[in-house]
Amino acid sequence: MTANSRTGKGTGLRPQMWKSGPDALRHEQYTQWLRQRAQANFRKEGWDLSFDDFVEIWGQDWCHRGRASEDLCMTRDDYDQPWHKTNVTIVPRHEHVRRSWVVKFARGQTGPKHKRKPLA
C-alpha cells in the first residue's frame, strides 16, 4: 500500500508537516538520525549527537552510505565513549566491521551466545 492509496483522512505525504522541513533529502537524513539514535539507545550506548552535527559530519558523503562492503557508514573512534561529533568517523563498511570485531574480541564478546545442550 503506497502513501497515496490510503483511504480515510490521510492524503499521503505531507512535507509541510515534517520536523526537518519540506526538503526530501533532509527528511531522509532526519529519519536515519532518529533510527541511529534509537539503535544506540537500545544498545545502551551514550548519544550526544545533534541532528545538525549528524548532517555536518556526513556532508557530501551521504550519497555513498549503504550496506555494501565499500559503502560508507558512521562509526565511533572509541567504543567506550558516547556517540559525539568528536568521537565519530565516516569509514567504509568493511573497516567498521573490522574495528567492531577487534573491540568485541578484546572484550571477550565473540563466539556463540548459547551453547546447544547435548541430546539426552
Work out the number of other CB atoms within 10 angstroms of the CB of residue 112. 6
Note the pLDDT tens digit of each residue in 39-65. 999 999 999 999 999 999 999 999 999
Question: Would you state the pLDDT for residue 109?
Answer: 75
Residue 120 has pLDDT above 70, yes or no: no
- Long-range Cβ contacts of 56-60 (<8 Å, 24+ apart): 56/85, 57/85, 57/88, 57/90, 58/29, 58/90
Q: Which has more confidence, 34 or 5?
A: 34
